[in-house]
Chains A and B, each alone.
Chain A
Amino acid sequence: MLYRTAGQFKTSYTADQALFPVRQDAVLLGIVLLLVWVVFPLTASEFAFQTLLIPILIYALAAMGLNILTGFAGQLSLGTGAFMGVGAYACYKMVTIFPELNPIVAILLSGIFSAGIGVAFGIPSLRIKGFYLAIATLAAQFFLVWLFEKWAWLYNYNASGAIQVPNLDMFGLYVSGPQAESVTEYYIVLAIVTLLTVVCINLTRGNLGRTWKATRDMDIAAELIGINLMKSKLTAFAVSSYVVGVAGALYVFMWKGAAEPNVFDIPLSFQVLFIAIIGGLGSIMGNYLGAILIVGLPVVLGTAADTRIFEMSALAGLLWLAGILAVAFLFWVARNLWGVAAALGFGAAMLLYGYAQTQGFRADSALVEHINTMIVGALIIFFLIIEPHGLNQLWRLIREKLIIWPFPH
């Protein structure tokens, strides 16, 4: 009913292969774009910009870079954090050596450096595969973080060994550094992420993307039908590292403002890998869903724990209610009773917590943090059990069921 495809006829092959064969998909994307380009910037608070909107976009971009390598080309990498670091340090050196350089140009250029390093560390992939390649990229991870610590030129011989983002302006408007407004930073991140997403969608749907997928699915067969494996693997490393490097530059310049070398250590690589896996390997949209789950959800839960449930504003209450009911509905459509139970159970837990608050119960922040970690961990396991192929696949199933809903056959 909501997603009815009846009456949408395709009269040419081009129309059938369009990005959005179903009109509702385009409408949905339009709504999302409207939200992120207009509604959120107008309504979001400083807190929402700095802890939700900007980091989710940056992590989603980093995961998208990794997904090109791991999800589309099938080359497992554990060095994402270090490649982000290369982008960040390259951008830092560029803006300090050439202060006149336009910051956005610097950010886009910094990806080229990480692409070069990525290709260099991708060369072993021509000979080794799978876990062995993962170990080779792990070596990149350790080596690069060590380099960030020891090579003082990289951080301009700063006594603390950390890089600090200077105030950068563009046409008289501060775009980076402490003087920059959050909304400016958000729009820059959004513009770059949107641009790179469009590029990645087109790359993965095009010729190059098909050679990557062929390499991923069976490299011997791909070689037999005439695909140059070296070219395929190294372009995957280059494109992936470029995107990851740009994400790293944004991570420091548009969000953190300062970074010490150990920020780029292996926990960051794992976090990005988790986002890519939970979101769904081999998908573009999954990266956004994964980032929302892994980066956004802990913040939302922490904020929810701090508010008094029965005293929140009517609008916020309505949004929570609508969100929980929408998730429950989608799971209901997909005939996934575990999902329905989880969504409703979450709502019930919130009401229970609100009731406990009226009885004078106060959770101190350390307890909230422990419970938060437990909930997020449980949700990751939950989503991987009900849909091992990630959130993207979950959405695809729901969408298929939505097309025929409310008639199951």
Chain B
Amino acid sequence: MKRYRKMALTAALGAVIGTGAMAQELYTPNMAYRTGPFAATGIPLMNGQADYMTLLNERDGGIGGVKVDFEECETGYSTEKGVECYEKTKGKAIVTQPWSTGITLQVLPKANVDEIPILASGYGFSPMADGKVFQWAFNVPAGYWDGADMIIQYLEEQGSLDGKKIAFLHLDHPFGKEPLPVLEMHAEDKGFELVPIPVGLKEMQNQSAQWLQIRRERPDYVIMWGWGAMNAGAITEAVKTKFPMENMIGVWWAGHDADLKLVGEDGKGYKSISWSFPNPDAPVMQELREKVIDAGLSQTNPEEAEGVFYGRGLVMSMILAEAIKNAQENFDTAEISPEQLRWGLENIDLTEERIAELGMEGMVPPFSTSCANHTGHSGGWMLEWDGEKFVKASDLLKANVDGYRDLIDSSAADYAEANAPWPVNEDCAAE
């Protein structure tokens, strides 16, 4: 009985203190995956995201004077855990960051009912670019269709694609199938032959069958849409079968330093399109080292902090922080609601000057969003592995969004129709 009384007392006390502390926080949970089959790629991203928010909390006391609670909810990349995390956090969260195409697919219709913005930086469903239909979903700064378009543009710069053969090695999963419509469209326009080669989830680590097919088909280029263990598997197989690495191009999730370090010099020339770049000399990196990493507030190590994925995590959190700041300034309140954050995400204007002001020169291309444009279409750089690290191999490539505008519109309309009644943003004028 005594124990119970003590417990009740602490409970009452805790309630008072707890609510006091809770009131001054921006709760932006992250559905992290530091465990499970994709942990190796997840950890640097999660660290980058968390460290940027820690930096803001340490340096500026949060955003607009309110601390950011960047709590992680562990999913292990499993959709069931993801839904659990979504339900657990949605009560007080101002944003949800689902972090896997599977979880995004499930959370997308729910968030439209619960009215919480989904921030899926560089992943998820490409038609989310249509902000009128997907009013609560954002895949800034670039979607998979942008990525596919930029890769084709880059290849065209190397010479006409007419009569060429391009193998599309992809994960047999919603994520891997995502760019197919745009690639098929280009294949028809530009006269190259597209050979889709799926890799099953169970065959990620052993792709000998797929690479045998690649050897037989003799493609001029291999475009890879891989994630997690699939990338390391493909890169080691490519080296083993002596495929010319300079003709192999991955999506941004296939540009993980650790995967390339496995093959080192042999991987020289491998490319990956990316909307982020790690710039160790950027002022923000200096500050991170001083205030976060050396202060022991981070789980990262110096080697990882120079990688592409860590830098990408920083950019993701920076975009969220910008949106929060926009909303705070516009609505003149420090504690914003999910609806106000949506406005913030729809009014990001990241110019070169603003990027420099944030100390992130060269780490992300400038872009802006609007109520109709939830992606921003920042474009990106082609990164190349020089044997030790990734370097920029091209100027900024901009996706030619008008080329597949119809596809975005029709896919978004199909989605809305299949999920009717699907409330759309009627107030938003077309661009």
Contacts and interface: CB of A to CB of B under 8 A. Distances in A.
Interface of A: 46-47, 50-51, 55, 149, 159-162, 164, 166-167, 177-179, 256-258, 260, 262-263, 265, 299, 302-303, 306, 308, 310-314, 317-318, 321, 364-366, 368-370
Contact of B84 (A51, A160, A370): A51
A321 B174 contact: no
B173 A262 contact: yes
Contacts of B88: 47, 51, 303, 306
Contacts of A265: 201-202
B394 to A, nearest CB: 28
A149 B201 CA distance: 11
A68 B129 CA distance: 48
Contacts of A160: 101, 105, 125, 174, 177-178
B209 interface: no
A317 B7 contact: yes
Contact of A369 (B10, B76, B101): B76
Given A160-B177, A314-B8, A365-B72, A258 B14 contact: no
Contacts of B79: 256, 263
A335 to B, nearest CB: 27
B102 A260 contact: yes
Contact of B113 (A178, A256, A366, A368): A178
Given A167-B421, A311-B10, A366 B84 contact: no
B87 A50 contact: yes
Nearest to B175: A160
A179 B112 CA distance: 9
Contacts of A159: 177-178, 180-181, 411
Nearest to A256: B106
A369 B85 CA distance: 12
Contacts of A312: 7, 11, 14
B32 A365 contact: yes
Given A258-B105, A299-B84, A365-B32, A313 B11 contact: yes
Interface string B140-167: 0000000000000000000000000000
Q: Chain B, interface size: which category?
A: 35 or more
B295 interface: no
Given A308-B18, A312-B11, A369-B74, 10 more contacts: A47-B88, A51-B84, A159-B180, A178-B109, A178-B112, A311-B14, A365-B34, A366-B32, A366-B34, A369-B76
A310 B7 contact: yes
Contacts of B12: 314
Contacts of B73: 365
A310 B273 CA distance: 50
A364 B202 CA distance: 30
B411 A164 contact: no
Contacts of B72: 364-366
Contacts of A257: 106, 109-110
Nearest to B17: A311
B8 A177 contact: no
B301 interface: no
Nearest to B418: A166
Interface in B80-104: 80, 83-84, 87-88, 90, 101-102
Contacts of B14: 308, 310-312
Nearest to B174: A160
B420 interface: yes
Contact of B83 (A50, A260, A366, A368): A50
A177 B180 CA distance: 27
7 contacts: A46-B90, A159-B178, A160-B101, A160-B125, A162-B102, A303-B88, A313-B15
A159 B18 CA distance: 46
A398 B73 CA distance: 38
A317 B106 CA distance: 33
A98 B231 CA distance: 42
